[in-house]
Structure 1
Amino acid sequence: MERAIAKRFGLESPEDWMRHANPRSVITRFTTLPLLVLAVWSRVWLGWYSLIFVGVVVAWSMINPTLFAKQTKIDSWWSKCVAGEYFWANRDKFPVADYHYGVIRVLTFLQAAGGVFLIVGMYLLDVWMTIAGVVWVYLSKMWFLDRMVWIYEEMKDHAGELERGT
């Protein structure tokens, strides 16, 4: 499933992943959720025209991973997050330790649960529920990314393959 999601975001080859490993790509991607919330809330002021802004944010989330220059080394926390996600998405090729599976399932569930809370908050135009949903999603996502760094650290002997694009 992770590979299918990655493909949707243009992450098919190791070179694509190294573009996303650029810290600018990861950091600017964090703008997506607040911009999406703002776009959805703009329905109050703009009505159906708010869908234009929703579309722009969705387009941004799709092009962002491949927009930046290819990272040549995996040397920052941000690039290690992406490299860990690469190893996780390709765990049939790079065996990831079994003890990560349960934690990643829980973190994925937490992100999804926060997303539901966020969606309900946006639907109801409940400021506090929306803010709580955003915080919930971000905290669980950061914990997930920290787990990806852990996976990268365990798999970094294979990082040369990713950096070279092989």
Structure 2
Amino acid sequence: MRIDKAIESSMAMSDATWARHANPWSFWTRVPLLMVLTLAVWSRVWIGWWCLVPLAALVIWTFVNPRAFPPPADVEDWASRAVLGERYWLARRDEPIPAHHARAAMVLSILSGLSLIPAAYGLWALDPWAAFLGAALASTFKLWFCDRMAWLTSDMRAAASGGRDQQT
């Protein structure tokens, strides 16, 4: 099983959940999660085992977030298109996406994943530069991936309508 599909399965993302997750509030309240998670793990230095409390809250929020907001009135917002693009990306074996988007998304996913290595090392070795720079890089590559997904949504819509939609 692909890791992206495994993550989607673990989140129990139904069509209704994806519709709610397309709400820009859902998107933007997830953006800082990796940095806050890094801070929560780092907090073990200050609060010891009590760091498990914010960690548990973050894990719960990660699961609840896609369900916490109503579906948006429309999905023209950049964040909504990014979420819809993720659905195209995850379904790319069933409905092919343009090769240039697939390559870029894969490269950005790999770069984001690789950025977690220094983040994890920094959290283990208590190296703040590695921990927070790694988390910042991973978040940056994830946002770049999301931008690519918004573009993918525009291209897929244009292709479905025979090119009548404007691309962004």
TM-score range, shorter chain: 0.7 to 0.9
Tell me what 1:164 maps to: none
Q: 1:6 aligns with which of 5, 8, 14?
A: 8
* Greater RCO, 1 or 2 (C-alpha within 8 Å, sep 6+): 1
Q: CA deviation at 1:26?
A: 0.3
Q: CA deviation at 1:87?
A: 1.1
The 2-side partners of 1:10 and 1:24 are apart by: 19
Stretch deviating more after TM superposition (20-29 or 123-132): 123-132
Q: TM-score, normalised by structure 2?
A: 0.86
The 2-side partners of 1:63 and 1:10 are apart by: 11
Stretch deviating more after TM superposition (114-123 or 77-86): 114-123
Q: CA deviation at 1:92?
A: 3.3
Matches within 5 A, 1:33-52: 33-52=34-53
Secondary structure of the 2:73 match is coil
**Runs of 4+ residues deviating >6 angstroms:** none
Secondary structure of the 2:95 match is coil
Give percent identity, aligned residues only: 34
Matched, 1:137 2:145: no
Secondary structure of the 2:76 match is coil
Q: CA deviation at 1:152?
A: 0.3
Q: CA deviation at 1:21?
A: 0.5
Tell me what 1:112 maps to: 113
Aligned residues: 158
Output one character per residue of 1:94-145: Cα deviation in whole Å (capped at 9) or x when no partner. 3211222222221111011111111111112212112211221121111111
Q: CA deviation at 1:75?
A: 1.0
Equivalent position amino acid for 2:49 in 1: W
The 2-side partners of 1:3 and 1:53 are apart by: 27
Output one character per residue of 1:69-102: Cα deviation in whole Å (capped at 9) or x when no partner. 1123211000000010011111234321122222
The 2-side partners of 1:73 and 1:107 are apart by: 27
Contiguous gaps of at least 5 residues in structure 2: 162-168
Tell me the C-alpha RMSD between the 2 structures: 1.7
Q: TM-score, normalised by structure 1?
A: 0.87
